[in-house]
Amino acid sequence: MRILLIAGGWSNEREVSLSGAANIAKALVERGHSVIPCDPALEFDALLEKAAGCDAAFINLHGAPGEDGLIQALLDQAGCPYQGAGPAASLLALHKAAAKQLFRRAGLLTPDWEFLPTPPPADWRPALPYPLFAKADTGGSSLALARVENDQGLHDALRDIFATGKAVLLETAVNGLEVTCGVLGEEALPPILIQPLEGGYFDYNSKYRPGGAWELCPAPLPDAITRRLMALALKAHKVLGIEGYSRADFIVPEDGHPSLLEINTLPGMTATSLIPQEAAAVGLGFGELIERLLELGKRPRR
């Protein structure tokens, strides 16, 4: 097949996107496909024309465009199938404050939050107790993320995040184990326990620097908690109307009740990414995973 590989883009996650695309291109070529690259930052106006000449697209974008559903909407117009979520589910998952509303409405446990679309007044104080996390509402790859312990730390974090032009989500810090769980098709994959080697949480360096964290797959957790995580990941996937695949991030506190942080509709595909590790745990190599995602993407959408 002729596969349009869409990667790069103009978000602050551009380099992560390009790194993963190199792995994907190699796997596609090894499996006999032709790869036609497209970087929206350089050739956005050529996207529809390129898509019209391809059998399918593989989207490896992070942030906007891509995770916001814009690229998916254009591909739908071009009649070009692609892996993963459609436009609406992509947009809902990218906006953490919107997704958390839907999670809570569906009975999924998620930390309390406060949404700040614009910088608050000088005399403003958060409704949430410290410590808390400040993050870009539409951010990913653990960029624009900070754990804050006091007013000064929060002030600094808000200044830095608002400087990127993004809204802010404040979230109660929940103590516990960091665990992520993917979904492929209609089944959840084995969860991964993440233990950062430096710092107290899974930040950008821990995520993408080789050796930055221990990632144990399958997670060495009691069977009951593993089953619960897998069921919750699949439920969150369906609540947002996601298709194909996704990855849900959780904190598992001492009481064993997982708290859902967010869900990613275009999980990373770098050499150290999590979904490929989970797929390998059920016997799917990287190339087989890419092929499976393309097969799922060619199915009629709901």
pLDDT in tens, 86-100: 999 999 999 999 999
Distance in angstroms (rounded) separating the CA atoms of residues 62 and 16: 8
Q: Please say if 208 is a catalytic residue.
A: yes
- What is the sign of the dihedral through the CA atoms of 79, 81, 87 and 89? positive
Q: Considering the chain, tell me which residue range(s) the CATH 3.30.470.20 domain(s) occupy.
A: 92-109+175-297
Q: Which residues make up the CATH 3.30.1490.20 domain(s) of the chain?
A: 113-172
Q: Annotated catalytic residue: which of 203, 247, 259, 273? A: 247
pLDDT of 196: 74
Residue 82: DSSP 8-state: B
Rounded Cα distance, 255 and 228, in Å: 13
pTM over 0.85: yes
Let me know if 141 is a catalytic residue.
yes
Of 9, 13, 206, 245, catalytic = 13
User: What is the spatial distance between Cα 288 and Cα 172, in angstroms, rounded to a whole number?
Assistant: 39
Examine the residue annotation and report whether 49 is marked as an active-site residue of this protein.
Answer: no
Which residues of the chain fall below pLDDT 50? Answer: 141, 208
Architecture of the 92-109+175-297 domain = 2-Layer Sandwich (3.30)
Q: How far is CA 188 from the centre of its chain?
A: 15
Q: Tell me if residue 262 is catalytic.
A: yes
Is 137 annotated in the active site?
Answer: no
Domain with CATH 3.40.50.20 in the chain: 2-82
Architecture per CATH, domain 113-172, reads as 2-Layer Sandwich (3.30)
The yes-or-no answer on residue 66 being catalytic is no
Report residue 1 CA to chain centroid gap: 27
Q: What is the CATH number of domain 2-82?
A: 3.40.50.20
Give residue 141's pLDDT: 47
